[in-house]
A and B are shown apart, each in its own frame.
Chain A
Amino acid sequence: MMRYGTLRILLPLLVGALFIGGWEWLVHTYEIREFVLPAPSRVAEALVQDFGSLMGSLWVTLRVTLAAFLAACLTGIGLAVLFSQSRTVEMAFFPYAVILQVTPVVAIAPLIIIWVGFSRMELALLILAWIVAFFPILSNTVLGLRSVDHNLRDLFRLYGASRWQTLTQLQLPAALPYILTGMKVSGGLALIGAVVAEFAAGSADATGLAWRILEAGNRLQIPKMFAALLLLSLLGIAIFFLLTALEHFLLRRWHESAVKREG
């Protein structure tokens, strides 16, 4: 009997292969025009032909995404720790964090680009992607830091733990599953933020994958457009899998979600 782990890899691959095969067949059988729907083989061809420019754009998007994600992690976790130490600080600042979350990035993009300057487009994109990615980490970490078992908290008090000891030895380890969930959501959002920001910025000096999609669309190079889309999807999947692997690595020894049980 096939192992569960093997099935988890093989089944999605099989579905993907069937989907691509069906797509190829559909395009050829019904002679669908390329500017409506290119065949997967044409997309692959475009990927090979424009490999250099697409990889350059992928690198730009990846750089912005990673920088925004790291900034979101640092500021989200940092601010959540600050909130957990002082209710007053939380009451004063949390509404502004919510405002950042609910403001559509498309609406705020022109303003950020003007403030940062057209010459520093990558920084503007980074800020916009950060705005999108920051909130899930903040809210999850705040929730995690608050969800510490109150008996354990009492135990730390009874044994005279300092605030620092309580934070580092109790609150942060207890909040780790929440932080990692926030990171998984934010990883995807950082990529979405980077792409949306680039769309919002238009062609002004931005050369990431979103710009390639716009450019290819304007020139009716639809296979190239699909190739850029494919790279974006692969990047999103890679981010998700890397963060899932990190989550498994950090929680595998103790957390219910990762511990293997017999039977």
Chain B
Amino acid sequence: MSDNTNNVSYVRTEFLDPSDPPEAVGGPVKWIRDNLFSSWFNSIMTLLALYFIVRIAVGVYPWFANGVWGTSGLAECREILDGATGACFSILQERWPQMVFGFYPSEEYWRPIVGLLLLAIAAAPVLFWTLPRKMLIFTGIYPFLAYWLVYGGTIIVPIMALVGLVAGYIAFNRVERAYGFFLGLVGGVVAALVVWWIGGLLSAAMPGLIALPEVTTRDVGGFMLNMILGTVCVSLSIPLGIVLALGRQSNLPIIKGFCVIFIEFIRGVPLITLLFVANVMLAYFFPAESNPDLILRVIIMITMFSAAYIAEVIRGGLAALPTGQYEAADSLGLDYTQATRLIIMPQALKISIPGIVNVAVGLFKDTTLVSVISMFDLVGIIRGPILGSTQWTGIYWEVFGFAALLFFVVCYGISQYSQWLERQLQTDHR
């Protein structure tokens, strides 16, 4: 048979290339017809959308194209524009350091910039767990380093704070092995307090040791303040949120009741009222001589605020775990703390990561509310010193657009990361 086919000349030996599909069922024409003009209703929608886009483009384009750079005031911009529509981007040129750093002394700008770069390194191993785990050591050191960089002062304070934490952790580990979790906790707290007390004496004795010029907290402002409030409050509120979530799920009625009341109270009131508390009320509850800084009081209240929301997210994660996990941990003979630390929490946290990221984005946006209690964050700087200065009166779009852009870039980045993470976690489960 096979010999025969070779001899028969009227059978083609090679395949023909497939011919192109007709114009109407392939290529861009088909795509446009399917996606934009599939029915009369769809066509109307497409035309409406196109009209809308063109209207916006026509309105905005000259504003960008005629944008003026390099003048020293709005009046000069208007002169140059001579009645035409156009932006006065000079304000960004002149005031961007203020919008980003607040009243931070300009010769020290390198400090927050270094801090921001180091933040990227410190956050990387938390965000991407394929990176070497050793980098987490730097993540642990980072908060103290960043505090020293941004606020200045002697390096003894952050170092002793760190040493105190490490000492507390070591003491906790040692005591826990011998006497169990709760005595370990007590031992750790005592050890940390002792080291901090010594640190207080040391820094009082040598205030000039490797010291950066101190910057008062009032001068730390602009977008940097939003970043600081966002990162500090989110990182502090995650442990607090875990404790609250566990408390709400526990079967001890008093602890559960307290956690429920705390969470529901915080979630029921707007953040602004909590900031009012920080501004006018909270100082009364501190000892008379301590006089805590406004930013510290604000951090306390925002941390409580976001802890309540994170607690609800984690509670969702705990509820999503199958009961079998709890029972399996019990049947292995693990006690409550062991089961929670080794079995329950790792899984529950993994489920709730996307939710926590959402809360973090929301919280980061809400840090602009501190401008209402007259702190100079990005919005506060814009509404106060920038719009109030005589040469820039009447300028709005450029500065608010810039502020919106800054927030958009950061928040959109985080939400894209969150979606990427969700996809990663999904493949893990399937």
* A-B interaction: no
